Structure 1
């Protein structure tokens, strides 16, 4: 298959390039329409009690969206301000689709005790179609913003989702503007020439187009989270640079042995292309673990990110060879260095780690375990507007309410649905848990009890209250809905499905690594060392963003918990990225071993020839992830830091020290497999071409 792709690229490069140009136009034309389809609902899990109760309430007591306006900065008793607010309230009430707007001066709790702020809640009618509801929300928000006061902020409901989506789009644009020039500058340093440096960026742009188009297509059949834009774009950009870097470096090496550009391209695809293929499959398999979870958000993220990985892989295997075939003749071959000069720093690291293998393992493993310790105290929550940057309107509204109103103001209530047949004693026990709860009858004989949770919407008090209600109800037909209930159900879903997700991923990764190496012990060693680096990275994220250490340096703050989106995405994506670098190194080790038969020297040679690529790739990925962290959105900060640390720890401490040390400990046994499996691998496994020999006296070309 790879030979066919390589020949198609070298024989018809312009056709291949034209097809990819068409794909880019689709991605940046049609694909960017996904920005209008994003949702901020990530905690919904089909089949859970909270979801069933919410659907029951929607049928029995349909209600529309609600938004909230806050006026701050002057005495709300000022006659001029009061007149403006009353006119605004009257105007909003007259807007088609608005159900109710209470008078903030006549309704208890809507005017701050310090007299410096007031709240204007707006309820939208239920049953409106999407366009009418959006028009009503926009008109109401615009009228409230016309109030002449020092600070007027409007957010909540669908408006909050729109504000977050706009922020996501802005963050992606800024991240691209920051990362692409920096990546290009680093690639110029690596390759020493603009042509070679520009090729990875072309593949990266293809990855971004693939991210947009993939998300748009998935939005036709499922909800797409606002987080998907940043996550898929950062990963698509980063992996594209990774794969292109590997391929271009290999092409320049192959050019040392031949003047025939087409032949160099074919050998590049036959060798490095196979590594890219297995790397892409490995990352995609790592993301299949997200499909095990019934969460629509996690499943859609898994599918979307896997699709982007596949696009990057295909671009590296088709578009890049076509570009090399068309323009590669002007790219200088890699320099021929004196014996022992190429990659000597990495060779020294490998030899040091092999000689001091016990000391290296005994030092590195405990350090990584200590870094991973905070993971034992990890907790997740839904998050609120506090996760947004301080410059966003939703965050400013949140800060204003916290500054002027009692804790819990504006927090969504816990909804307890008591269906017909519920024992009266059970009803009274549930009411006793919150004496201030309000109830009203539903059609069909059911009753809904609205309980205002103490503290935040997803704090420990709110989730504990949900658990107490569920304990009290026993076997009665009582269901609990609301954000706190959704969080409880989401946590239970993660705990229940996480082991199955782990087994799915580990079995798939083990099988792919066996197909790549023909060994049973190398896949096991790879998985264990990768879990160490992953644990260390996730532990650092918990220490920073949950516990609040040094979070301010990254533009964030300690939130007491991680966003429920961050841990599963960090684990799935970082595991796949770590496999990337492992495959880069193993491919070179395997080549050297097949050429020389010397197991120990193969480890040194493998690291010598791959260390520079792995280090550069990790640095470039860190730049990409770092650029996305400039937006200040807490979930993206958490994901970005987790992936950055996972990549850097894995590409340095693990791959440069722990891998050669553990390979030296295993010795020849590292490549062992039972005879039946060995025969199966010989027949069906990966078999790369040996590297082209460099002719004696081959000319040295400058970069």
Structure 2
């Protein structure tokens, strides 16, 4: 199958790149440029949860609760400034009224101490007072309306006082800005850094440009696909950062593997046509199945109810699929056009023959691992389990101002407001009371039971008086760590004649955590079973997939333990400018899917080369050494490139983006070094010939989908039958005949070089 595509790519080499690039360009220009207008800041809640139903009832009866949208906090700089004085009140009121007059469609209502002089809006010592601005609209309209007045708010000035902007929508705006900056940072910093790294890997300007070509096309195409998805379903703003991170990183990785294999085929003396065919049949097939593994891991996010996770899954799967398709469709045709010019503008030589590669440091490391298989297996598994231990202290919470840097102006403002007005909260817990009989005593009984619960900033108050039999009570929770306890206690309130629903941000956070623990076991089961089946078909073995699943779980557990140590326990928090604290549960689910998918991705590249060697007559140890040696440098380079891309996102101002970036960096470091170079060879050496076992029906299906597809000998005509179970001739000189050197002879040469006295 893949060989036939390699033939077609060579035949249509002048048409395929032009058509694909034109399609991507049109997709971006016609659709992708509209992405920013179609993204949403919603989708964090469970649409079937109690808090969502309660919020819908409140909105249908009273409209959206906009009281905590924007807080304008005015704090005097010295005791000489009197916030209660007429000049100060007039100055603030005039500026607030001017904002409302300038944007009447954005501002619904202003409730201000400087106008009403209500006592609850100023501190007892008169050092700080505030105004609330309620915005029009629902869902994404609210943030868009905030953007209309944002600059006007920050332009408010009061002589002798400091003006700060806080509130739920202001925090959402700061988070949204941080995510947008992440994309720009990846493009401005990430791409040039990756280009330099690719140049170091390949030593050739043209060769280095090939993965970059796929990366740029992938970004443009992903934006178009994401924009199309946003027209059909809710796509959270955060999804764009994740899609860019994965799409760019994997596109460049896939391009790296394709270019490396093509150059390897040329170095082995193959003509251009045969090199294109063999590259597509080997590296191209591996890229497709690798992308499929990542897509399967990401599809597990669809099991969760939050639209945020679903949108990330849709977008990331599209980006990964596009990266693979571009690598397999565009690059073979470009290779056919370039031929040996792939090494044009070479600054320094990097290529080497397969024999030299297997005999290099990359071959000696797995040889060492196989000689000390038992010790390394026990020791490294113990280390990975030890790294997992901090995961036992993980804590979960919701998205709030603490996800912003400690010095962020909006976060600082929110902290000052909470400190100066401790009984008020912009994210209260609510009780929506739907009376069955309309009796006022029902509300009184709910009020009494609710206020018996400790941990509130102040007693529950009526925030929406009874209308159509519905009443809303609100209160703040003093400590976010008490959210689960207080929400659980409120759910236990039972009063005859009324239905009491718990709502508000604290309830939504608790329900999100509950959804995590309800669905996480099913997610893990789905990922393990699905990847096991697919890897069995790719490798033609059921033992290797079982080993891969174990390796992936060990690597994922160790990565999560490291992340818990950093982001919950606070190791390095000052250095990386974030505040440790509870993790947002959907982000934990997301990182599990991503790092498991990446681990499987590299497993496919490594073990596929071992399987290829085995099919050409290698013993188990020879296949392990050959596969690890020929992919070790490429996997390390791919991991380094992905780390550079992740590093650009690691400077994000948003904690959850740091969490994903650092998680991927940790997973890549563990995977490309400890697991792939040492643990996999050691464990396979212990399994010996059992590595390759599979029921006959698995082997037959595997062969039908392209497993062990024969590589073409040099000079074979297009469409001709492919070659034997032998590796092509080693060496860098031109091919003078079609006789390949048997793989056994290649390994015998290497084994002779390893013997003492050579």
Using the alignment, how far apart are the partners of 1:367 and 1:292 within structure 2? 32
Using the alignment, how far apart are the partners of 1:642 and 1:517 within structure 2? 28
In the TM superposition, 1:28-67 aligns within 5 A as: 28-29=28-29, 30-63=31-64, 65=66, 66-67=69-70
Question: Which of 297, 302, 327 pairs up with 1:286?
Answer: 297
Using the alignment, how far apart are the partners of 2:187 and 2:150 within structure 1? 34
Question: Which of 411, 414, 429 pairs up with 1:395?
Answer: 411
Question: Which of 81, 104, 110 pairs up with 1:101?
Answer: 110
Using the alignment, how far apart are the partners of 1:144 and 1:192 within structure 2? 50
Q: Which residue of 1 aligns with 2:522?
A: 500
Whether 2:372 is the aligned partner of 1:356: answer: yes
Residue 153 (structure 1) shift: 3.6
* Structure 2 CA distance for partners of 1:672 and 1:544, relative to 1, 3 Å: same
Q: Which residue of 2 aligns with 1:146?
A: 156
Q: Deviations over 1:187-238 (max 9, x none)?
A: 1111111000011011111221132122211211222222212111011111
Query: Any conservation in 1 of the 2:167–2:414 contact (CA below 8 Å)?
Result: no
Q: Which residue of 2 aligns with 1:448?
A: 472
Q: Deviations over 1:526-554 (max 9, x none)?
A: 01111111111111111111111112222
* Structure 2 CA distance for partners of 1:340 and 1:54, relative to 1, 3 Å: same
Query: Any conservation in 1 of the 2:274–2:712 contact (CA below 8 Å)?
Result: no
Using the alignment, how far apart are the partners of 2:712 and 2:687 within structure 1? 26
SS for the counterpart of 2:547 is helix
Query: Any conservation in 1 of the 2:269–2:731 contact (CA below 8 Å)?
Result: no
Q: Deviations over 1:354-376 (max 9, x none)?
A: 11111001111111111111112
Whether 2:429 is the aligned partner of 1:429: answer: no
Using the alignment, how far apart are the partners of 1:342 and 1:677 within structure 2? 30
Query: Any conservation in 1 of the 2:39–2:236 contact (CA below 8 Å)?
Result: yes
Question: Which of 383, 390, 396 pairs up with 1:367?
Answer: 383
Using the alignment, how far apart are the partners of 1:661 and 1:73 within structure 2? 67
Question: Which of 77, 99, 102 pairs up with 1:74?
Answer: 77
* CA radius of gyration, larger in: 2
Residue 285 (structure 1) shift: 0.5
SS for the counterpart of 2:64 is coil
Using the alignment, how far apart are the partners of 2:99 and 2:635 within structure 1? 59
Moved more, 295-304 or 98-107: 98-107
User: What runs of 5+ residues in structure 2 fail to find an aligned partner?
Assistant: 344-348, 714-726, 736-758
Using the alignment, how far apart are the partners of 1:140 and 1:657 within structure 2? 54
In the TM superposition, 1:513-532 aligns within 5 A as: 513-532=535-554
Query: Any conservation in 1 of the 2:24–2:217 contact (CA below 8 Å)?
Result: yes
Using the alignment, how far apart are the partners of 1:474 and 1:655 within structure 2? 60
Using the alignment, how far apart are the partners of 2:354 and 2:704 within structure 1? 38
Using the alignment, how far apart are the partners of 1:100 and 1:604 within structure 2? 71
Query: Any conservation in 2 of the 1:261–1:329 contact (CA below 8 Å)?
Result: yes
Using the alignment, how far apart are the partners of 2:577 and 2:146 within structure 1? 35
Residue 260 (structure 1) shift: 3.1
Q: Which residue of 1 aligns with 2:429?
A: 414
Q: Which residue of 2 aligns with 1:385?
A: 401
Using the alignment, how far apart are the partners of 2:307 and 2:730 within structure 1? 59
Using the alignment, how far apart are the partners of 2:52 and 2:665 within structure 1? 35
Residue 296 (structure 1) shift: 1.0
SS for the counterpart of 2:63 is coil
Query: Any conservation in 1 of the 2:143–2:169 contact (CA below 8 Å)?
Result: no
Residue 259 (structure 1) shift: 5.7
Question: Which of 579, 585, 588 pairs up with 1:567?
Answer: 588
Residue 673 (structure 1) shift: 1.5
Query: Any conservation in 2 of the 1:61–1:442 contact (CA below 8 Å)?
Result: no
Residue 23 (structure 1) shift: 3.6
Whether 2:501 is the aligned partner of 1:479: answer: yes
Whether 2:25 is the aligned partner of 1:25: answer: yes
Query: Any conservation in 2 of the 1:68–1:155 contact (CA below 8 Å)?
Result: yes
Q: Which residue of 1 aligns with 2:206?
A: 195
* Structure 2 CA distance for partners of 1:407 and 1:357, relative to 1, 3 Å: farther
SS for the counterpart of 2:474 is strand
* Structure 2 CA distance for partners of 1:117 and 1:319, relative to 1, 3 Å: farther
Using the alignment, how far apart are the partners of 1:287 and 1:137 within structure 2? 33
Residue 267 (structure 1) shift: 1.2
Whether 2:324 is the aligned partner of 1:313: answer: yes
Residue 7 (structure 1) shift: 3.2
TM-score (structure 2 length as normaliser)? 0.86
* Structure 2 CA distance for partners of 1:270 and 1:657, relative to 1, 3 Å: same
Moved more, 32-41 or 494-503: 32-41
Q: RMSD of the alignment, in Å?
A: 2.7
Query: Any conservation in 2 of the 1:591–1:690 contact (CA below 8 Å)?
Result: no
In the TM superposition, 1:453-602 aligns within 5 A as: 453-455=477-479, 459-473=480-494, 477-558=499-580, 560-602=581-623
SS for the counterpart of 1:419 is strand
Using the alignment, how far apart are the partners of 1:605 and 1:661 within structure 2? 14
Q: Which residue of 1 aligns with 2:751?
A: none
Whether 2:670 is the aligned partner of 1:649: answer: yes
Residue 280 (structure 1) shift: 0.6
* Structure 2 CA distance for partners of 1:685 and 1:28, relative to 1, 3 Å: closer
Moved more, 226-235 or 196-205: 226-235
Using the alignment, how far apart are the partners of 1:636 and 1:136 within structure 2? 23
Using the alignment, how far apart are the partners of 2:323 and 2:631 within structure 1? 21
Residue 446 (structure 1) shift: 2.1
SS for the counterpart of 2:430 is strand
Whether 2:16 is the aligned partner of 1:16: answer: yes
Question: Which of 108, 122, 129 pairs up with 1:111?
Answer: 122
Whether 2:86 is the aligned partner of 1:86: answer: no
Q: Deviations over 1:539-586 (max 9, x none)?
A: 11111111111122223231x211334211110011111111111111
In the TM superposition, 1:610-625 aligns within 5 A as: 610-625=631-646
Query: Any conservation in 1 of the 2:388–2:557 contact (CA below 8 Å)?
Result: yes
Question: Which of 251, 255, 259 pairs up with 1:248?
Answer: 259
Residue 604 (structure 1) shift: 0.9
Using the alignment, how far apart are the partners of 2:665 and 2:146 within structure 1? 42
Moved more, 75-84 or 477-486: 75-84
SS for the counterpart of 1:373 is helix
Count of matched residue pairs: 695
Whether 2:350 is the aligned partner of 1:329: answer: no
Using the alignment, how far apart are the partners of 1:10 and 1:307 within structure 2? 26
* Structure 2 CA distance for partners of 1:390 and 1:691, relative to 1, 3 Å: farther
SS for the counterpart of 1:441 is strand
TM-score (structure 1 length as normaliser)? 0.92
Whether 2:672 is the aligned partner of 1:662: answer: no
